[in-house]
Structures are given as C-alpha cells and as structure tokens.
Structure 1
Amino acid sequence: MSLTDQLNDLLNSFDGFGPTLWLSIAFCVLLVIELVLHRSGSVTQRRRWLAGFSVIALVVAGVWSIASTARGFLFLHLLFIDNQAIFFQTIVVVAALFVLLYDLVAYPASDRPTGQHPETGRLPGEWYSLLMAMTLGLFLMTVSVNLLSIYLSIELVSICSYLLTALTTTRKASEGGIKYLLFGSVSSAIMLYGMSLLYGITGTLDLTTDDFGLALAQQDTTVAAVALLLTLAGVLFKLAGVPFHAWTPDAYEAAPVPVAAFFSVAPKAAAVLVLMRLVTALPAQADDAAAGIANDSLQIPLAVLALAGILIGNLSALRQTDAKRLLAYSSIAHAGFLLVGVVAFTEAGFQAVIFYASTYLFISLAAFFLIDMLAQTTGSNTLLICQFAGLGSKFPLLSVGLTIVMLALTGLPPTVGFTAKLLSFSALFEAYQRSGNNWLLALFALGLLNALISLVYYLKIPFLLFFRPTVEPEPIAVQTPNQPAIWLVGILVIPIVGLFLRPQWIMELLTGW
C-alpha cells in the first residue's frame, strides 16, 4: 500500500472512530471541569456538573455508535467495527449509565465528606473521569483485532480499574487496589509473552490476516496452543476467569458498590468478545489444520478452565458471610458459564455467549444495587449477609426484587438466567455430539450439577429475608431507599422476567445486527 493510500485510510477511519474519539474528549473535559470547580464550587455543585456531563457524554457515545453506518477495518487493520462490536459497546454504555445514575439517586448530593466508607459512602469527583477513561478502554477492546491494540486497550482498562478500586480513603480500598495491581501485572506480563510468541511464529500482529492462521497451522500443535493460551491470560484476567481470578473477592469487597457493579459486567462483556475473536481467528482464516489447533488443543484447556471457574466460584461462595464477596465468587462462576458457549466453538455457542452477556448486565447490576439498598436500611457500613434477616416484611418490594435476581443468578425459571444457561449448555451438548469429546460431556454434566450447588448460597439471602426474624438487637432503619433508586432497580428487574417470556427480543436484535 502506497503512502497516499495509507494516509487516506487513516483519514477515512475517523468516520468509524467517532464514538471512541468523543469519549477521549469527554475524559479530558471531565478533568478540566474537576479542576475548575474544585476550588470555586461546592461538593454538591461539582458533583452535579460532573455527573450531568458524564451521563450526556455516555448517551452521545452510545447513540453515535448505534447510528454509525461505518463497518470494516480502521487504521490499517488495527481496529475492526462490526455488529458484534457495536452490540457490546452498547452493553458497556448501558452499564456505565446505570452505575452513574445509581450513584446519583442512591447517595443524594450533599457537602459532606465523600469516600468515608467504600460500601456506603459517596464516591469522590475523580470517579467520573476514571469511569469515562475505563469506558474508552472497553470501547477499544471491542474493536481490537490486532495484538498490539488488544494489549493497549486491556492495559487502559486495567489501570483505570486499579485506581477505581483504591479510590476511597480506607485501608481496605488500598489493600484491594494493591492486590488487584499485583495480579494484573502478572497476567499482563504473561499475555505479553504469549503475544511475542505469536508474533515470532506468524510474523504478524493482525489476527485477521491469512498469514496468522496459516503460520500457526504449520507449527507444532502444542507450541501454537501454548502461545495462544498465554495470550489469553490478560483476557481471562478481565473476565475474572480461572486461574487469574484471585483478585476478584478482594477488589469487589474494597471497591464502592457502583464500581464493583461495573466491574462485574462491562469488562466481562468486552473480554468475552476479545476471547471469541482470538479463538475464531484460526478456523475463520485458515484451513482444517488450523481448525484442528483450535478444536483439539484449545477446546480442552478452555473446557477445563470453564469447569474450574464454575467449581471454584460456587464452592467458595458457600462459605461467604459478606454479600459483596459472595457476588464476587458468583462472578467467577459466571465467567465459567460464559466460557461454556465459547468452548462449543460453534455459531450457536457464540450466539449463546452474546445472549448470556447481555442478560447478565441486568442480573448483576440489579444484584449489587438491591443488596446495597437493603444494607443501607440497617445503618451498617458493611454488607454482611446476616443483616438481611427479617427485612422481607419491612421492605417487601426490594426483597421480592432481590429474590427474583437470586433465582436468575441460579438459572431457574421464570427468569432469563434459565434461558441463558439453557442456550449455552444446549450449544455445548450439540458440540459434544458432533465431536465426541469427553471433556465437553464432563463440563456439561458438572456445570449443570453446579447449578444445584449454587442454590445453597443464592437462596440464602431470600431465606433470611422472609423466613428468619430480625437479628438482635434489632437494627434501626436509618435510611429508607428513595423512590428514584427503587424505580431504577425496577427497570433492571423487569427485563429479567420479561426476557424469559420473550427471549426472541434479544435474539432478533442479534440476528438483525
């Protein structure tokens, strides 16, 4: 390609890069607003300006992404925009909007100090710019098809995640942020080493070129599989997948509730799309030999990692007494369930993964918000599960909503969690029937068995809410959840049941895009 063609390609790429560029500008504007209002305005005024501009910026980015007609490669095959990328960008924007709105309505603005308690205190002003920067990194992850752009976007998301975890002024937040940073550094180093191996083998960083798949097909199967698995380290880290999951409980417990809720949804969505692009780079671009690398050498390790994530997440959650740590281990288990569809290595499996990620958006955010709202009513700075005893009769609407969410996390009808697991395991069983791989059968059987194990800890909270008396001494309800917060959570709970009755709404959206 001549220099003139390269310059034209770079200029034309800005048509599809608009939403991401807008988020970059919004991040810089938020920094300026924070600096200008830091001395001249009150805490309340500064928070309203920052929150208002953040919401507007996210809405503009989401609408721009959906309305954009640009498709194809950007910046000389560094990025790639397709319908899947836009769909996952929409998930990221919706998650960011919900956590911003929840922070506004659940913790009304005032001039009192911020960040005193990571579970219940408001977030400082820096949270808005960091959330915008993290959203920018997630947007880049969804369109990255080059190993270099994948690495840089994951690092941008990771740095913002470390800062958001340690944002409040508590010892727990500092410890959680440091642990998150240490595990992230290790996974980043492993991923970078795997990428260097892939570049040495293929001579290219572009996952979409024919040379990438053909060069791997000519290598020893074990060598190619090891390089790919090492490269997946950073993706599994953002997905909270085994063996890069150990940071999750400490980071979720240390981070404020809106931050932990965002961690549980948005990075997972972007990471699973990167994972699907990595594992499909071989069969999509190469011949049967390359497809054999994916099926024989990647399918079994991914099946083992999925099964390990489901087992470790569920078994560890059984002994948790803190609600956020319970949801953290639940997040590890659901990362394993997300991998189930990927392991199938079929179009139906990938569609199931996209369906699972889109519905998990509502389920996970609702779980964090409802638990936080019920915890506020006890006047405690912690989210201990035992504190929920007897609250069902005092706050029936919130308690019923949390019960629906727990059923969805378990995967029981009449919630969309049942539909998501049904689609994933159906695709997995079809893959087993076609390949006869016993590891797929083991993942299918033990994965379904773990759904029964998860009943024990998911239904623990509803049991305490409705069938156990209030703990002594009886806590005083110091704060009744306000109506805007209840309405916001209701918006999240309604799709959990509605999409069970009409799952074709998402499926038609996926096929239409």
Structure 2
Amino acid sequence: MSLTDQLNDILRSLGGFGPEIWLSVAVCVLLVVELVLVRALALSNARPYLAGLSVLVVGVAGAWASWLPARGFLFMHLLFVDNQAIFIQQVVALAALAVILYEVATSPDRFGRVVKLPLEWYSILVAMTLGLFLMAMSVNLLSVYLSIELVSICSYLLTALTTDRKASEGGIKYLLFGSISSAVMLYGMSLLYGMTGTLDLTADVFGAQLAQQEIPVATVAILLTLAGLLFKLAGVPFHVWTPDAYEAAPVPVAAFFSIAPKAAAALVLMRVVTSLPIDSPTGGATTAAIQTPLAVLALAGILIGNLSALRQTDAKRLLAYSSIAHAGFLLVGVVAMSEAGFNAVLFYIGTYLFSTLTAFFLVDLLARSNGSDLTIRNFAGLGSQQPLLSIALTVVMIALTGLPPTVGFTAKLLSFSALYDAYQQTGDAWLLALFGLGLLNALIGLAYYLKIPFLLFFRPRPTDTEPYPNVALPKLAVWVAVGMAVPAIGLFLKPDLISRWLTNW
C-alpha cells in the first residue's frame, strides 16, 4: 500500500472514530479545567462541574456511536466497527454514566461534608472509558495490547488514588498481578506472530498458519495470549487481585470494574477464538484445541468464585468473588464456540450491567443508612427501615443467582443451552462437566446471594448495639440505584429488548 493510500485510509477511518476522538479531547479538557480553574482560580468544589462534563461526554459519545453509519475496518485493519463493538461501547458508556451520577449524588457524606476524591478521578475514568472503547474495536494484536494497557493503567490509578492505606495496598497488588499478566500476554502474542507472520486476527493467513502448527504449541501460545483478557475478566488463574482491589477502591470504581472491563474483554476473547481455524487438513490447531482448556478455566472460575464468596463477611468482597464466578459464566457461552453461544455472551453482558452496578450501589446506600461500614452483619434489621432499598437489593441478588422471574435466569438459560448443544456435537466430557457443575453452582450462589436479604428482613438488629441513626440518603442516588434494579425483572418479561438493542446498531 502506497503512502497516499495509507493517508486516504486514515482520513476515511476518522469518520468511524468520532466517539474516541470526543473522549480523547474530553480527557485533555478535564485535565486543563482542573489545572486552570481549580488551581489558578482556587475553586473549592469544582467536582460537580467536572462530573457534569464527564456525563455529557460519555453520554454523547455513546449515542453518537449508535448513529454512525460507518462499519468495517479502520486504520489499516487495526480496528473494526461492527454491531457487537458498538453494543459493548454502549454498555461501557451506560456503566460510566451511572457511576458518575452515583458519585455526584453521594459526594456529601452522612454528616453533610463533601467527600474529597481527587479531581483527577473523572479524567482517569473517561480515559479508561476511551481504552474500553478501543478494546471493543481491536482486531489486531498490537491494538489489543495497547488498549488493554491503557485500561490497566487507569484501573491501577483509580484503585489507589485515594489517601487510604488500604487503597494503596490494593492498587499495588493490582499493579503487580497486572504486570505479570501483561508480560505473559505479550509473550503469547510474540509466539503467535512468529507462527503466523501477522498481527491481524482477521487475516486469512493467521488461521491458515495456525492450522499448520502442532496442537500443543499453538494451544499454549493462544492461552498465554489470553492472559491479559482473563485478567480483565477476573478469570482464573488471573483473578487473585479482584477481592483486594474491589475492597480498596471506592464503591463507584469497584462497580465500574465489575462490568466495563469484562464486557470489552469478553468481546476481544470472542474475536480471538473466532480467528482460529475450524478444521485443519493436516491435523493442526483448531478451535477444538482451545475449547477444553477454556471449559476448565470457566469451571474453575465458577467454583472458586462461589465457594470463596460463601465465607465472606464484607459486602464488597462478596461481590468481588461473585464477579469471579460470573466471569466463569461469561466463558460458558464462549466455550460453546457457536453463534448462539456468542450471542448468549452479549446478552449476559447486557443484563449483568444492571445487576452488578445496582448491587454495589444498594449495599453502599444501605450501609450509609445505618452509619456503618460494609460488614454484612451490619445489615441486620434494615429491611423495615429501608424497605425500598431492601426489596430492590433482594430482586438484584435473585437476578445474580439466576432464578426466575429475573433476567439472570434468561441469561444463564441461553448460555447453558448453547453449551449443551456444543456438547452434543463434540461429546467432550469437560463440556458436560461444565454444564452439570455450572448449573449446580446456582444453589451455592443462592446460599450467599440471599445472605444479605435474609439479614435485612429476618434478623433484628443486635440488642447490644446502638439504635440506627436517622440518616437522610441522597434522593438522586436512591433513584439511580432503584431505577437500575427495574430491568432485572423488566428484561425477563421482554428479553427481546436486548436482542433489538444489539441488532439495531
């Protein structure tokens, strides 16, 4: 390709790169606003204005993405815009919008003071949103690596940005595990490049060359490459950072971590899997070679996440281990290696967006209402004092468990139906084990998901403790949290809304 053709391709690609340009400008504007208005003009409380600008940027960027007619490759096959990429970008934008709204609504604490989060918090969150937008479009190993690193660096900063010692400790652990996973991923990418001679996952030569490789060698290279994606998914064996980082980070940050990176990483994972050859005349590597290892990782994630959550005494750590289990459930659809399985993954992401964000917001509001921390035993007897929040949390916990009449049941039904179809075609015993044990884990999930609702409604406050203080919760935060619980039942009654959301783009 000549230099003129390259320049023309770059100019043409800018038409489909509008949201990313918008977010890039927004990051710079937020930093300049902080430096000029806050430091030079000594404005003491500019955070609401910065938050408003962030909400506007993220909301407009997300809406803009759905209106763009451009589809196809951008910047010489570095990025690819399709319905799935725009769907994931919409999920990320909605998550960022909800998190910023909740943070603005809950900025005054229960004594009426303003909680001082660093002003850089908003610019870093928008930068992380930009990285996730890029991840959703990445189809080249180079763009995949760079976008993951942008997301990772922002994640480390958001975790450790406050002055709390626990936040610093959680951020350091997050950084160490992230560095290891990035190094392993980069090594795997180098092996794939050596085998195929290209970094483009969509190139015909990529699959053709992998089909010529020995199955053990190609499988190891692919699994090493998936290390960074499993890290973002909080998938086994790169899940160890999750409970410490979630506990250390502010509630809005932990809520954002629970869905946005997972959504983008799941799409990239599906792109990597679909780049593998379906069959090989020479007996080389195919999609079947990676199916069993992924099934083992999915099963391990479900078991470790659920069993570890059973003994947690802190609500945020409980939800952190829950997210590890849900990373395993997300992999169930990928393991199916079919169109039905991939559609089930996207449906799961669309429903999990509402369930996990709402769970984090509601436990935080309930803890604020009784003037305590997020220790689970402190929720006892709160059901009568905060009935609306308690009922909403119960609905969300049932959705996370995967029971009707919530959309969590529909999401798991689609995923495991696709998995069972895959088992019937392949006869792989690991797929059957994942199917059986995965469904059995719904009972384990029921044991810890309903722990907090049980305390809310069926356990009185201990007599040796002081009465609950009369704390007025921010109305905007309450309506944001309760409003996001409505889709847990609404989407069960109308599941085609997510399908239309996905296909209409």
Provide the TM-score with structure 2 as the length reference: 0.97
Mapped to 2, the partners of 1:109 and 1:389 lie a distance apart of 22
Mapped to 1, the partners of 2:101 and 2:453 lie a distance apart of 26
User: Is 1:340 equivalent to 2:332 in the alignment?
Assistant: yes
Mapped to 2, the partners of 1:501 and 1:347 lie a distance apart of 23
SS in structure 1 of the partner of residue 186 of structure 2: helix
Query: Which amino acid counterpart does residue 128 of structure 1 have in structure 2?
Result: Y
8 Å contact from structure 1 (residues 379, 475) kept in 2:
no
User: Is 1:233 equivalent to 2:245 in the alignment?
Assistant: no
SS in structure 2 of the partner of residue 73 of structure 1: strand
Mapped to 1, the partners of 2:332 and 2:116 lie a distance apart of 37
| Matching residue of 1:368 | 360
| Matching residue of 1:185 | 179
User: Is 1:487 equivalent to 2:479 in the alignment?
Assistant: yes
| Matching residue of 2:51 | 51
User: Is 1:71 equivalent to 2:71 in the alignment?
Assistant: yes
Trace 1:292-371 onto structure 2 (pairs within 5 A). Answer: 293-371=285-363
Q: Which structure 1 residue ranges, 5 or more long, are not aligned?
A: 115-120
Shift of 1:137: 0.4
Q: Which structure 2 residue ranges, 5 or more long, are not aligned?
A: none
| Matching residue of 1:427 | 418
Shift of 1:42: 3.1
Query: Which amino acid counterpart does residue 388 of structure 2 have in structure 1?
Result: L
User: Is 1:275 equivalent to 2:276 in the alignment?
Assistant: no
Aligned residues between the structures: 503
Mapped to 1, the partners of 2:155 and 2:205 lie a distance apart of 35
8 Å contact from structure 1 (residues 214, 287) kept in 2:
no
Q: 1:250-280 deviations in whole A, cap 9, x for unaligned?
A: 0000000000000001000000000000000
8 Å contact from structure 1 (residues 43, 110) kept in 2:
no
| Matching residue of 2:382 | 391
User: Is 1:463 equivalent to 2:469 in the alignment?
Assistant: no
Query: Which amino acid counterpart does residue 492 of structure 2 have in structure 1?
Result: F
Pick from 190, 215, 225 the counterpart of residue 196 of structure 1: 190
Shift of 1:150: 0.2
| Matching residue of 2:85 | 85
| Matching residue of 2:5 | 5
**Change beyond 3 A, Cα 1:147–1:111:** farther
**Change beyond 3 A, Cα 1:484–1:83:** same
| Bigger mean CA offset, 216-225 vs 240-249 | 216-225
Query: Which amino acid counterpart does residue 71 of structure 2 have in structure 1?
Result: R
8 Å contact from structure 2 (residues 72, 82) kept in 1:
yes
| Matching residue of 2:442 | 451
8 Å contact from structure 1 (residues 47, 109) kept in 2:
no
| Matching residue of 1:118 | none
| Bigger mean CA offset, 485-494 vs 235-244 | 485-494
Mapped to 1, the partners of 2:447 and 2:110 lie a distance apart of 40
User: Is 1:247 equivalent to 2:238 in the alignment?
Assistant: no
User: Is 1:409 equivalent to 2:400 in the alignment?
Assistant: yes
User: Is 1:512 equivalent to 2:473 in the alignment?
Assistant: no
SS in structure 2 of the partner of residue 320 of structure 1: coil
Identical-pair percentage: 70
Mapped to 2, the partners of 1:101 and 1:267 lie a distance apart of 19
Mapped to 1, the partners of 2:88 and 2:113 lie a distance apart of 36
Query: Which amino acid counterpart does residue 364 of structure 1 have in structure 2?
Result: T
Pick from 206, 215, 234 the counterpart of residue 200 of structure 2: 206
8 Å contact from structure 1 (residues 43, 111) kept in 2:
no
Shift of 1:435: 1.0
Q: 1:194-231 deviations in whole A, cap 9, x for unaligned?
A: 00000000010000001100011011111111111000
Query: Which amino acid counterpart does residue 42 of structure 1 have in structure 2?
Result: L
Mapped to 1, the partners of 2:500 and 2:474 lie a distance apart of 36
SS in structure 2 of the partner of residue 282 of structure 1: coil
Q: 1:381-413 deviations in whole A, cap 9, x for unaligned?
A: x21000000000010000000000110110011
SS in structure 2 of the partner of residue 321 of structure 1: coil
8 Å contact from structure 1 (residues 214, 290) kept in 2:
no
User: Is 1:498 equivalent to 2:490 in the alignment?
Assistant: yes
Q: RMSD between aligned alpha carbons? A: 1.7
Provide the TM-score with structure 1 as the length reference: 0.95
Mapped to 1, the partners of 2:329 and 2:472 lie a distance apart of 36
Mapped to 2, the partners of 1:337 and 1:43 lie a distance apart of 45
| Matching residue of 1:117 | none
8 Å contact from structure 2 (residues 315, 374) kept in 1:
yes
Mapped to 1, the partners of 2:374 and 2:453 lie a distance apart of 15
Mapped to 2, the partners of 1:500 and 1:159 lie a distance apart of 37
Mapped to 1, the partners of 2:286 and 2:64 lie a distance apart of 36
Shift of 1:169: 0.3
Shift of 1:377: 1.1
Query: Which amino acid counterpart does residue 56 of structure 1 have in structure 2?
Result: L
Pick from 165, 174, 177 the counterpart of residue 171 of structure 1: 165
